[in-house]
Structure 1
Amino acid sequence: MKKNIKFYCLVVFVFFSCSKLEQLEGGGTTKPAAESTATYYVDADNGNDTNAGTSATSAWKTVAKVNATTFKPGNSILLKTGCIWNDQLYPKGSGSATSPIRISSYGTGAKPMIFLSGTIGAPVYLFNQSNWIIENLEVSNYSVTRGTVFRQGIFIQNTGGGVTSNITIRNNYVHAVSGSFRYAGFDPHAFGGIAVVTTGTVGTDRFDKITIEGNIVEDAGRTGIVVWDNVWEASGNASTNVQILNNSVKDIDSDGILVFGCEGALIDHNVANNCGRYREDGQFNGAAAIWPTRGRNCITQFNEAFNTQALDGNGDGQGFDLDIDSYNFVMQYNYSHDNAGGFMLILDASNSINSIIRYNISQNDHRTIFTFAGGITPGTSIYNNTVYIKSGLNTNIIDHSWDDGGGKGDLNQAYYFKNNIIYNQGSGNYIIPGIFGVFDYNIFYGNHPSGEPADSNKLTTDPLLVSQGSGLNGINTVNGYRLSIGSPALNSGAIIPDNGGKDYYGNQVSSTTFPNRGAYNGTGL
């Protein structure tokens, strides 16, 4: 669980309140200005920095030349495919909302590569700059030892910049980023493969219109992809219009995708594989694959998380997590499988409220499917999920931990568990938190451990899933969790208002007629 993060954030905000995190290049010098709307070409093999740079045949050679230029709205900086630069790319200037500045590639072949050799900072860096597109690059920053050095792949920093807006990071390959696990002046969760971070103590520093899409992030840490807004709680301070879409994160030291301090963030159609692969003695080793925290009205949907590890010292290891200070977060249409810590962590220990977990599929997750930690988030509603646990697993369906939540935990809160299908062939139990859980209209099939909750409208008959346990890698491989003709789950669930309107498979869910139980609301097959 992420119980240490809040304390460390309070300590370290002051440290970076007025300055950039250390990077390779200092700021403050006047840079030559680019020509308006011009496209600049950079060719490490055949370019020359004395060239004009405005055509492929008169390309610049070094990123130092790029870094020495202040770019204007509509400019493009194109790096030649197949070329390699061992330097930090830190161009200056900002675009406009209608004419962003674009960093991309030209030519055919491998993506242009920008790398550092374990140096502090990031190979691609922007500081207090708006209206940029960063695309089609290969980026790395590898070190044999992680130590206390914060390394990133692509790093967007806002410190004293007010609202930094309209940043798109797409179609990049970020790998071999060796980030620190240690709280060495800042929270290490905020750094990793792709990091978009406010590092000051001023609530007016925030992000708007951040899109991170279609990137592959591998062999990176601490975090794969992170958007982090330090000071977010007051009205107007949280980052807005943040979207993390269609990315793949794999072999990540700790957390795969993390959103901190956002209003209305969307985490959609991402895949996280083998997160939590690294630990250090004496450090905070908790990790989950995909999790939003400290924010309001965030939605996590259509994602897949699998093979998340739970190494020594990692009490988490879940595929998904709704963490501290989650206000009205929704977790829906996700596929979780083979995660060592289970499917879902629901962490309060704060002011979290109204966590909704619906239309998800969990297959062969370990330890615990639903873990309540730090007390019970008031208004938690878990409905129309389908859970399959194969024979030989000792997976608990429900459990709870860290009940006092550092003095903020409360087990005396109501929560709701309805219309779920639990297909349990394992030997785990239900360890129910508190006494105010409402269990209704669920199907509990297979093994019935002693802790199975009372449910006056439960069914214990075979739900007749089409082919349980047949899901593979991919959110579209779970058709086996639809219902067969004659299933007792068909049209036998409880009506739930404001139910999202669709099931996992895109079928309509009415708010006035009885739905199916489980994540599938279509007709029998």
Structure 2
Amino acid sequence: MRTFDRQLRGLSVALALGALAGSARATDYFVSPSGKDTNSGTSAAQAWKTLAKVSSFDFAPGDRVLLESGAVFAGPLSLAASDSGTALAPLVITSTSIAPATIDAGSGDGLFAWNVAGVEVRNLVVLGSGAATNQGEGVFFYVDLGGGVKLDHVVLEDLDVHGFGGYGVQVGSGSASKSGFRDVTVRNLDAHANARAGMAVWGTFSASSTTWAHANLWVVDCTFRDNLGIASVTNTNTGSGIWVSDIDGATIEFCESSQNGSLCANQSGGPVGIWAFDANDVTIQHCESHHNRTGPNSLDGGGFDLDGGVTNSRMQYNFSHDNDGPGFLLAQYAGARPFGDNVVRYNVSQNDARRNGYGALDLWSGAGAAALRECELYHNTVFLAASTSPGAAAVALQTAVTNVRFYNNIFVTTGGAKLLRSVAQPGAYFQQNDYFPSGATFAIQWGGATYASLSAWRTATGQEFFGARVAGTAVDPRLFAPGTASTVGDPHQLATLTAYQLLAISPLINSALDLPLLYGIDVGANDFAVQPTPHGTRNDFGACEWQGP
């Protein structure tokens, strides 16, 4: 888990308070255990005492609620539409100085905001009685207005939210008209030891809708850990780090998700560290997702996932490792909106797919669901050691796909793990990938046949051809130290991960397909290590461009 520098965090709080103090605003309201609810609240000497008083008051744009630093206040804290601020004059709820105040929710909710926006909540601990005893939510922004309206500006920053039987943080819409929130920022959130998930964004599902409830979400520098799920809930998955849905435009970056999901009991689907479904234009990047689990009889437990109904989205520059399920999953379920035009690029997966026969890169459509379509997976590096999970593979295509393409990837396995396992199909295309079964026999399973060499698979299926020329390799990529990477713990430091850098003697340097030239694919400006690409005359295989002379 990344540890935040409290001094820097405190400085940012102090600067924010100072900036607000010098700007035009309405009123500061102070809350202290030594105050009285009959006081005016407008000075430290006239502080209110309880959050019940705060909840009963109607605030104006620009007001601030300042909870005494280090103090503990019994929850819940409730906000209503009459408390709405604006993006330029938000209602701010925070602590008086560096040490955060605590909202102790007991067995109930921490902070509930109903049809209200223009709100910033900063520098607080929000505490439930424990995942097994609490029956509420940590921080919950909810809208149920008609008319398809968007409530603008919510900021949740420097929050520690834990011990809730529901979600740590929720942004939800119960509106059939797709009313929701717009411009939501969640920064420096530590959501841990909650039951259902660390964080969730959701709306009212409609398979026929062409719009989404929420828009423009930014989740950055957050940690989601030890959100284990609920063993008594069998009708849905529980125990994810973070999931987002019913949203048009979301970025999740520089976040870490770990040790989630082990109590999930749903047998038709399970938790994932970081994932999205029923969403458009989602970017998950520069994140680390690791050691996520699923229950004994449940599924998934993976690192990253673009799931049912996701379009125009991307997973890039991420490190996934040691997860029960896939490192990177593309999935579509029956009844979802269409899925397609998604990209998986410049990621590293190490020893994912520990259970249930998944691929480190895994593609799946459920019974009755439309096939995955128009997706590209390129410049990824996968290392997969053998596990006790039968069928585990570097890549698994569990069902048929439509125009899904794999380019310039490196797949390394050990101990006899399969390089590729796929149903026989015409809709997947592999060009210029490297398949290396380190210390073991080459094995690609395609349909009912298993091929012991790249050339045999190529001849039988037509894969790994570029026009009339053969493509793809089955050589040692000469990586620096494959299989040895450990938890980085700070996603801002992912570039220091050297295990999957190419050595100068690698045969894969300057030998990848030129995807912009050949297919008009915009591959981005940099690789996994945030180094410019290409470094040489052409791109290299895999996630990390060689940076030698």
**Residue 244 of structure 2 is aligned with which of 234, 238, 259?**
259
1:507/1:522 contact within 8 Å kept: no
Runs of 5+ in structure 1 lacking a partner?
1-34, 180-191, 404-410
Q: Secondary structure of 1:265's match?
A: strand
2:159/2:188 contact within 8 Å kept: yes
Give the residue type in structure 2 aligned to 1:383.
Answer: Y
Which residue of the partner structure matches residue 466 of structure 1?
480
**Residue 94 of structure 2 is aligned with which of 88, 104, 110?**
104
Q: Secondary structure of 2:372's match?
A: coil
5 Å matches for 1:165-184? 165-179=152-166
After superposing the two structures, state which structure 1 stretch, 477-486 or 151-160, moved more.
477-486
Give the residue type in structure 2 aligned to 1:56.
Answer: A
Which residue of the partner structure matches residue 46 of structure 2?
58
Q: Normalization by structure 1: what TM-score?
A: 0.83
Which whole-Å CA distance do the structure 1 matches of 2:211 and 2:269 have between them? 32
Q: CA deviation at 1:507?
A: 2.0
1:503 matches 2:527 = yes
Which residue of the partner structure matches residue 421 of structure 1?
410
5 Å matches for 1:230-309? 230-231=204-205, 234-252=209-227, 253=229, 254-280=239-265, 286-309=270-293
Which whole-Å CA distance do the structure 2 matches of 1:457 and 1:333 have between them? 25
Which residue of the partner structure matches residue 361 of structure 1?
348
Classify 1:304/1:214 alpha carbon distance in 2 versus 1 (closer, same or farther; 3 Å).
Answer: same
Which whole-Å CA distance do the structure 1 matches of 2:216 and 2:97 have between them? 33
Q: Could you report, residue by residue, the CA deviation over 1:306-325 in whole angstroms, capped at 9, with x for unpaired residues? A: 01112233221110111001
Which whole-Å CA distance do the structure 1 matches of 2:171 and 2:292 have between them? 23
**Residue 491 of structure 1 is aligned with which of 489, 510, 523?**
510
Which residue of the partner structure matches residue 83 of structure 1?
71
Q: Normalization by structure 2: what TM-score?
A: 0.80
Which residue of the partner structure matches residue 113 of structure 1?
102
Q: CA deviation at 1:142?
A: 2.8
Classify 1:285/1:322 alpha carbon distance in 2 versus 1 (closer, same or farther; 3 Å).
Answer: closer
Which whole-Å CA distance do the structure 2 matches of 1:508 and 1:516 have between them? 12
Which whole-Å CA distance do the structure 1 matches of 2:269 and 2:70 have between them? 38
Q: Could you report, residue by residue, the CA deviation over 1:209-249 in whole angstroms, capped at 9, with x for unpaired residues? A: 01111110110120111111225764554421111111001
Which whole-Å CA distance do the structure 2 matches of 1:398 and 1:108 have between them? 48
Classify 1:284/1:143 alpha carbon distance in 2 versus 1 (closer, same or farther; 3 Å).
Answer: farther
Which whole-Å CA distance do the structure 2 matches of 1:95 and 1:73 have between them? 4
Classify 1:521/1:36 alpha carbon distance in 2 versus 1 (closer, same or farther; 3 Å).
Answer: closer
**Residue 340 of structure 1 is aligned with which of 319, 324, 333?**
324
Q: Could you report, residue by residue, the CA deviation over 1:46-69 in whole angstroms, capped at 9, with x for unpaired residues? A: 111222212222211111111111
Which residue of the partner structure matches residue 141 of structure 2?
156
Which whole-Å CA distance do the structure 2 matches of 1:412 and 1:63 have between them? 54
2:39/2:47 contact within 8 Å kept: yes
Which residue of the partner structure matches residue 135 of structure 1?
122
Q: CA deviation at 1:494?
A: 0.7
1:194 matches 2:163 = no
Classify 1:488/1:524 alpha carbon distance in 2 versus 1 (closer, same or farther; 3 Å).
Answer: farther
Which whole-Å CA distance do the structure 1 matches of 2:476 and 2:528 have between them? 21
Q: Secondary structure of 2:37's match?
A: coil
1:374 matches 2:362 = no
Which residue of the partner structure matches residue 58 of structure 2?
70
Classify 1:91/1:207 alpha carbon distance in 2 versus 1 (closer, same or farther; 3 Å).
Answer: closer
**Residue 435 of structure 1 is aligned with which of 426, 431, 434?**
426
Which residue of the partner structure matches residue 5 of structure 2?
none
Q: CA deviation at 1:348?
A: 2.0
5 Å matches for 1:384-403? 384-390=379-385, 395-401=392-398, 403=399
Q: CA deviation at 1:508?
A: 2.1
Which whole-Å CA distance do the structure 1 matches of 2:513 and 2:326 have between them? 26
% of aligned pairs identical?
26
1:490/1:517 contact within 8 Å kept: yes
Which whole-Å CA distance do the structure 2 matches of 1:289 and 1:508 have between them? 28
Q: CA deviation at 1:200?
A: 2.5
Which whole-Å CA distance do the structure 2 matches of 1:319 and 1:237 have between them? 25
Q: Could you report, residue by residue, the CA deviation over 1:128-171 in whole angstroms, capped at 9, with x for unpaired residues? A: 0110001111112235746xx86210000011163121000011
1:495/1:511 contact within 8 Å kept: no
Q: CA deviation at 1:392?
A: 5.5
Q: Secondary structure of 1:64's match?
A: helix
Q: Secondary structure of 2:155's match?
A: strand
Which residue of the partner structure matches residue 35 of structure 2?
47
Classify 1:473/1:457 alpha carbon distance in 2 versus 1 (closer, same or farther; 3 Å).
Answer: same
Q: Secondary structure of 1:139's match?
A: strand
1:466/1:479 contact within 8 Å kept: yes
Which residue of the partner structure matches residue 16 of structure 1?
none
Q: Could you report, residue by residue, the CA deviation over 1:37-92 in whole angstroms, capped at 9, with x for unpaired residues? A: 11111011x11122221222221111111111111111110111221122211144
Which whole-Å CA distance do the structure 1 matches of 2:267 and 2:544 have between them? 42
Give the residue type in structure 2 aligned to 1:417.
Answer: F
Which residue of the partner structure matches residue 14 of structure 2?
none
Q: CA deviation at 1:391?
A: 5.5
Q: Secondary structure of 1:172's match?
A: strand
Q: CA deviation at 1:123?
A: 1.1
Q: Secondary structure of 1:60's match?
A: coil
Q: Secondary structure of 2:240's match?
A: coil
Runs of 5+ in structure 2 lacking a partner?
1-23, 230-238, 446-450, 452-456, 459-463, 465-469, 516-520
Which residue of the partner structure matches residue 523 of structure 1?
547
Q: Secondary structure of 1:431's match?
A: strand
Classify 1:466/1:239 alpha carbon distance in 2 versus 1 (closer, same or farther; 3 Å).
Answer: same
Q: CA deviation at 1:362?
A: 0.6
* RMSD after superposition: 2.3
